[in-house]
Amino acid sequence: MAEVSATDNSIVGGNKWYRYYVLGILTATYTFSIMDRQIVAILVEDLRAEFALSDAQLGVLSGLAFALFYATLGIPIARLADRTNRVRIVSIAVAVWSAMTALCAAAGSFLHLFLARIGVGIGEAGGTPPSHSMISDYFGPNERGWALSIYSMGTSIGGFLGLVIGGFVAEYYGWRAAFLVLGIPGLFLAVLTWLSVREPPRGTLDNEPQTDDTQVLSFKDAAVALWQNLVFRRIIIGHILAIFVGYSLFGWLPALFLRQFDMGQAEVGTLVGLIISVGGIPGLLLGGYLGDKLAESDVRWRVYIPIASLAIATPVLFLGMWTSNVLMACLMFGLGIFLYKLHWGPHLALVQQVVAPALRAQAVAYAMFFSNMLGLGLGPVLIGAISDMAMPSFGEKSLTVALSVSLIAFVLGAFWYVRALRPLRTEYVDTEQSYNQGGA
């Protein structure tokens, strides 16, 4: 299939660098979303003391309260994004989640904070699906892994900034000030996105005609088409299992350091933020780059990389969880997060490759629904519950035990990526088709 130049004037508004500006703005929005999402992780001990919370309740605040609406609203918002202006959806979403983060500062009880975190999740539901869809219309098939990896750097940058800024502000000015400092700047970013980002035509870089509203599949038909796509279904299961570990780790790693090592909030926030960013950013970029380059000769490399990265990350993270040496813990967690992030770029690019342009935002939304309900929603809660149950036997090591158990999901995730290889070869390697229209 002939590839249309990614610098075509109709795509980038006459400026070949404009697509990188758009990618930068969208990456910034994702960074802000992760900052607002991650802030609870460094504030867990403050919130525990303020509202007398258990680990399970803290897991609800960092996971379920956010994920409940973030995941469920993502699908209808994505359907809207596949039919209407995606830039406006992203801009409104940024404004909503930023305002609700700032509102967390006024919480007077666990219920108030729970409701405010739900509001953050409602806002963030409109961020990633339309952003992925737009990036795929600004960058061609052989560049998408790299572009989506750059966008996904928001997880590492946002995690770093959320922990460092949140930890510093909380230690010296209180946890309420931390919510304000991270929430308010996002309102300005929302305005910038609305005013400066152009909506690209859909499918041009894939030689697919732009889809009008009357041609968009119904909710049921879209869901059936995605379910019947065997490659999509299996790599999503693999990613769900991987992200279960990722969200559990990111949500509880600051608490793990606070309990195992003699450090203050600002120190732990800086240290864990550096681990996430120094390990995560190179992993994202290298994974996206290798996935794009190697997939030019064999698309299955977009699956081989996740298989290897998750399998190797499992023992590395296990060692990090059980060492009593802080330097060794930092090295093992940094390497483990590097390996975990290595699978993101190839995975995200493959999702965009194996579904038609008119379903891209919805494909991301369905993936997010299951990933976030099972990963973000249940992950931190389940880890907190296991930690509570293990407390009588293991004391302060109970959280280590809970996180160690979660690593089983990495092994299962690698297994499901292996299961995607056969249909991927049948549909894309043997037949050289660009899109899979179904086929279980």
Q: What is the DSSP letter of 125?
A: T
Query: Greater confidence, 75 or 409?
Result: 409
Q: Is the pLDDT of residue 424 over 80?
A: yes
pLDDT for the residue 217: 63
pLDDT for the residue 428: 63
Query: Greater confidence, 242 or 37?
Result: 242
Q: How far apart are CA 257 and CA 379, in angstroms?
A: 19
Q: How far apart are CA 1 and CA 327, in angstroms?
A: 50
Q: How far apart are CA 109 and CA 106, in angstroms?
A: 9
pTM of the model: 0.70
Percent of the chain predicted with pLDDT > 90: 29
pLDDT for the residue 343: 92
Q: How far apart are CA 258 and CA 249, in angstroms?
A: 14
Please classify residue 212 by burial: count the beta carbons closer than 10 Å to its beta carbon, then call 0-12 exposed, 13-18 middle and 19+ buried. Answer: exposed
Q: Picking from 59-73, 174-188, 267-281, 410-424, which range would have the lowest pLDDT averaged per residue?
A: 59-73
Dig out the tokens for 99 from the structure: 């305002």
16-31 pLDDT tens trace: 789 999 999 999 999 9
Q: How many CA atoms lie within 13 A of 426 on its CB side?
A: 13
Query: Mean pLDDT across the chain, nearest whole number?
Result: 82
Q: Picking from 291-305, 324-338, 379-393, which range would have the lowest pLDDT averaged per residue?
A: 379-393
**If you count DSSP H runs as helices and E runs as strands, how many of each does the chain have, helices first?**
21, 0
pLDDT for the residue 192: 96
- List the one residue out of 166, 29, 167 whose CA is nearest residue 96: 29
CATH of 18-200+218-428, one of 1.10.3720.10, 3.40.50.720, 1.20.1250.20, 2.40.128.130: 1.20.1250.20
115-157 pLDDT tens trace: 888 888 888 888 888 898 899 889 877 788 888 888 988 887 8
